[in-house]
Amino acid sequence: MKKTILKERSGAERKPVSVEVSGLSKQFGKQHVLREINLTVKPGEIFVIMGPSGSGKSVLLRQIAGLDLPTAGTVRIEGYDPAVPDTRDRFALALVFQAGALFNSLSVYDNLALYPLEHRLCSKQEIHERVMRALKILSLENAAKKFPSELSGGMKKRVAIARALVMEPQLLCYDEPTSELDPVMSATITEIIATLKNEFRVTSIVVSHDRDLALTIADRVAILMKGVLRFIGTPAELRQCTDPAIVDFLNPQIDLKNPRYLQLEAS
């Protein structure tokens, strides 16, 4: 069964997938992290999830990727539960972690080749071709023999994306892809995400605080606050949003006479 599914997945009919989240809630003990989340991601779109720190964005991404189970509700990828092993065999899913999650003892090339080699997803020759193609797309050919300790922060982000591309994903999830990067490299990563949408015909879900990324390349944006979905719409609709909390999040005003940290201490 597994071999049949993998064969089907690697065929010419590989397409971007849809994602549906219905009534999803997540608790850690008594702490409610996500409350009744309902959203649909269309095949091939770039869907950006924004919100303040601690609002549950990365937790939601882990639910979508099948890395964690919801307390209530469901996640479905083309109607299949991502937490079930057969779903991961049926569809090519990849996650770009915030910190890169590269293996420090392996070269860039070996970081990219490790998963498909260990899981025997295809022949060694095809894996080599996939790795070199991903490195070329991300302009990393000259870094193939380097180790993570020899890379800049921006290069590590690009290597993490390249590793995901080796899977030829139908769904590509990014967790804060522009965090800890300077403005120029953040713009570069944003351009890469937009380009890969068409190059790989992939559905992209991006968790980010980056307002420029969301307003520039997203097809739709969701705003998550305190575990509650507060807004879903296009960048144009988000610019017109009058919700005071969302306006303050997107365009915070610095007030030296009444600083925010004093308000946080009081609340």
pLDDT bracket for residue 13 (50, 70, 90) = low
Residues 2 and 11 sit within 8 Å (Cβ to Cβ): no
Sheet holding 31-41, edge to edge: 31-41, 19-28, 72-77
Instruction: Over range 41-70, report the average pLDDT.
Output: 93
The percent of the chain in helix, strand and coil, each rounded to the nearest 5, is 40, 20, 35
Residue 183, Cβ neighbours under 10 Å: how many?
10
Instruction: Over range 184-208, report the average pLDDT.
Output: 89
pLDDT in the model for residue 130: 87
pLDDT bracket for residue 12 (50, 70, 90) = very low
Report the percentage of the chain scoring pLDDT > 90: 43
Most confidently predicted of 5-14, 76-85, 193-202: 76-85
pLDDT in the model for residue 185: 86
CA distance to 160, 163, 208, per residue, from 172 (Å): 12, 11, 14
| Whether the predicted pLDDT of 6 surpasses 70 | no
What the block records as the tokens of 225 is 């606050």
Most confidently predicted of 36-50, 81-95, 180-194: 36-50
| Whether the predicted pLDDT of 8 surpasses 60 | no
pLDDT in the model for residue 127: 84
**Mean pLDDT score of the chain, rounded to an integer?**
86
Q: What are 115-148's pLDDT values in tens digits? A: 777 767 778 888 898 889 888 888 888 888 989 8
pLDDT in the model for residue 264: 67
pLDDT in the model for residue 7: 38
In terms of Cα–Cα distance, which of 225, 239, 235, 172 is closest to 203?
172
pLDDT in the model for residue 36: 95
Residues 181 and 189 sit within 8 Å (Cβ to Cβ): yes
**Cα gap 33→74, rounded to integer Å:** 15
Contacts of 146 (CB under 8 A, 6+ apart): 107, 108
